[in-house]
Amino acid sequence: MPILHLLNVVLKKCGIGFEGLALSVRFGILQDHHKFQQRYYEFLDYFRVPDGPIFLKICGESSCDGIANDYIGQITGFCRRLITVLAKKFGAAVVSLEHRYYGKSLPFKSTTTENLRYLSSKQALFDLAVFRQYYQASLNLSQKLLEWPFICITESLNLKLNRTGVENPWFVFGVSYSGALSAWFRLKFPHLTCGSLASSAVVLAVYNYSEFDQQIGESAGAECKAALQETTQLVEERLASNKKAVKTLFGAAGLEIDGDFLYFLADAAAIAFQYGNPDKLCSPLVQAKKDGEDLVEVYAKYVKEYYVGNFGVSSQTYDQRHLKDTTLNENTGDRLWWFQVCTEVAYFQVAPTNDSIRSSQVDSRYHLDLCKKVFGEDIYPEVDTTNLYYGGTNIAGSKIIFTNGSQDPWRHASKQISSPDMPSFVMSCHNCGHGTDMRGCPQSPFNIEGNAKNCGSPDAVEKVRHQIIEKMDLWLSECHASGRSSM
- Residues labelled catalytic: 176, 408, 434
Helix (H, G, I), strand (E, B) or coil at 113: coil
| 36-to-91, 104, 111, 164 alpha-carbon distances in Å | 32, 10, 14, 27
Cα 227–Cα 231–Cα 235 angle in degrees, nearest 5: 175
